[in-house]
Structure 1
Amino acid sequence: MTPTTILLFFAFIFLPLASCAPPPAPPPTSPSHDPATLFIRSRCNLTRYPDLCFASLSPYAAAVDGSAPELARVAANVTLARLRGFRAHVAALRRAGAARGRAAAALRDCSEQLGDAADQMCHTHNELRGLEELVPTEVEWRVSNAQTWMSAALTNEESCSDGFNEAAAAFAYGGVGSGGSGFDVKTDICGRVRRVKQYTSNALALVNSLVSGR
């Protein structure tokens, strides 16, 4: 077992299962020139996908109020909401019988992996609570924990698409929304994985910035 695997194993044993509420509806968006909004723009420039970062987080500018730790926590919570929505989509495809053979197994495994990723993102969210009230050594420890959870979430997201790339069975779907013309489940799932990984990558960059001095 790798050190990361061992850490996660013991964390799941000794830590209570984290519970996270979905992110609240954002307050009215601040003007683009508002200092709180400009702060989010500047922080999002540290991420790999700055436009997505700003679009998803700027509605929370007033709540973040210029706090880098709070912005990272909100980013984790927004990513958690995306993961939960993605998993609900996978569940709907499974109920519709969207895949056969190995593809059906890949869809089942993806659901489990997304569930694990959501749990890990929830732990990340909880690690980032109240960082501004802690001494630097405690902040470093909590951020390190958050980085570990988020890296594990990225691994689970990647595993979801890997399962579809390895599956040889055909995909078929003719349910609501397909227009009766069939539906490529692999393309749909892998596209959604790429998108949720962008959210996770951005959130991880914002977490990393808490200890990088940026």
Structure 2
Amino acid sequence: MGKVWFHLLVLVATLRCTATAPTAMDFIKASCKTTLHPSLCVRCLSSYAGSIQGSDRHLAKAAVTVSLNDAKSTTAFVSKLARVSGLKPIEYQAVKDCISIMTNSVASLSQSVQELEQMGRTTGQDFEWHMSNVETWVSSALTNQNICSRGFGDNGHVKDVVTKRMVYASQVTSNALALVNRFAVRHRKDIHKP
């Protein structure tokens, strides 16, 4: 009987400890609920759990990094389309425009990652200035991604392929922007706590 009670006490203590200690994945899942595409958000950020821990800044940086990596991949994909033979003139021009737009998107996201890396030591007006830069650049990248598939005319295989890639890129960037905004709001609340 004594052994049974001992094992029950150990089990209860173990369950109590695991139930009260939130994990990095719990933090990611809770944070991703504030995005428009929460399941995509969790899927994209789960491999960053070790570096994110419970940090809003690290979460925002990871989300923007995911967006940057996808934007680079999408830019490379669209660049390959420009070399496909048989493109109609309107498709070729739309692909070239999309490459230019996505190059700007990559630059904006890259600047955002660099800015977020340096924000660990900023407060007050410095924080506001850096945060404003990040919010503007990520928002600009999202706008560019939404524009990219509009120049292809009414229909066609090339438009369908590019639109599919752009929709995914836009969803990833939309999630990144939501988490950047969440970081900004939570940081400001922490500063103004009595």
Same fold (TM over 0.5): yes
1:102-113 alignment runs, 5 A limit: 102-113=90-101
- Contiguous gaps of at least 5 residues in structure 1: 1-32, 172-183
* Structure 1 residue runs of 4 or more that deviate by more than 3 Å after TM superposition: none
Cα distance in structure 2, aligned partners of 1:38 and 1:130: 26
- Aligned with residue 81 of structure 2, among 78, 93, 107: 93
Q: Which residue of 2 aligns with 1:201?
A: 174
- Say if 1:98 and 1:154 are closer, same or farther in 2 by CA, change over 3 A: farther
Aligned-residue identity in percent:
34
The reply on whether 1:148 has 2:126 as its aligned counterpart is no
Amino acid at match of 2:44: S
Pick closer, same or farther for the CA change 1:89–1:45 going to 2, 3 Å: same
- 1:81 is aligned to 69
1:143–1:210: 8 Å Cα contact kept in structure 2? Answer: no
Name the TM-score, length of structure 2 as normaliser.
0.80
Residue in structure 2 matched with residue 37 of structure 1 by the alignment: 25
Deviation of 1:34 (Å): 6.1
Higher helix fraction (1 or 2): 2
Please, what TM-score do these two structures have when normalized by structure 1? 0.73
Distance 1:147 1:108 in 2: 27
RMSD of aligned C-alpha atoms? 1.7
Specify the code of the residue in structure 2 equivalent to 1:67: S
Q: Does 2:53 match 1:65?
A: yes
Cα distance in 1 for partners of 2:92, 2:30 equals 43
Mapping of residues 21-36 of structure 1, within 5 Å: 35-36=23-24
Gaps of 5+ in 2: 1-20, 190-194
